[in-house]
Structure 1
Amino acid sequence: MTKILVVEDDPFIREMAMTGLEDAGYEAIEAANGGEALRLLHAGIAVDALLTDIRMPEANGWEVARAYRERFPDLPVLYVTGYAEQMQPVPGGIIISKPYRMSQVVSALGT
């Protein structure tokens, strides 16, 4: 089963993403902020894809993705943000504007 790490500091959005991914057949694990996501990485947690907010406490989504990509260079990364119009394209990453539909995320993950 494909394992997705959901990194989102808004509990409502995080829960929506977790439920949507699980309903789509993914194994979803969660981190409440960037620092928690980095702690999971350092604990040896491996994932198949990363769904991360960009603006978060402790570490932002760019920092989280960079750290995960160091260990997993081909890791698919989906960035979700309310500020998509201000973002630059990220090599190997997809930026999705908030509010988003889970169908957008599932489609971007390739299912």
Structure 2
Amino acid sequence: MRILVVEDDPFVREMAVSGLEDDGFEVIAAADGGQALSLLDTEIAIDALLTDIRMPEADGWEVAKAFRRRFPDLPVIYVTGYSERLDPVTGGVVLPKPYKLSQAISILRTWDT
């Protein structure tokens, strides 16, 4: 399963990428929403999206909606350290920060069928 991780905090991003790779996932990382959206101009193919919500250039809501236009059934996990309006795509899951990577992995495993 190929996961796109979009996180602007380098430490959190590296922890997520390393943990997901250690658990057998193939991971692509983007440093912010703008970088994630630029990946749509490539031939990227992903099976799930794990995205922070508050980021520069484009927030996680925008990123998920853009990726859903290309991949209509794309599973999405949103992570956030803020209480804010919730606008997940249908089927999206919101995890509050700090989150345990095992929570995200458990959700991803249910989608990896």
TM-score, normalised relative to structure 1? 0.93
Q: Which residue of 2 aligns with 1:36?
A: 35
Shift of 1:89: 6.0
Identity %: 65
Gapped runs of 5+ residues in structure 1? Answer: none
For 1:36, give the aligned amino acid: Q
User: Match for 1:95: what amino acid?
Assistant: V
Query: What is the DSSP-based 3-state SS (H/G/I as helix, E as strand, rest coil) of the residue aligned with 2:40?
Result: helix
Per-residue deviation at 1:42?
A: 1.3
The aligned residue for residue 4 of structure 1 is 3
What stretches of structure 2 of length at least 5 have no aligned partner? none
Q: Once superposed, what is the RMSD of the aligned Cα atoms?
A: 1.2
For residues 28 and 64 of structure 2, the distance between their equivalents in structure 1, rounded to whole angstroms, comes to: 15
TM-score relative to the length of structure 2: 0.92
Q: Distance in 2 between matches of 1:94 and 1:40?
A: 22
Deviations 1:61-93 (A, max 9, x none): 00100000000000000000002x434363210
Could you tell me which amino acid in structure 1 is paired with residue 56 of structure 2?
A: P
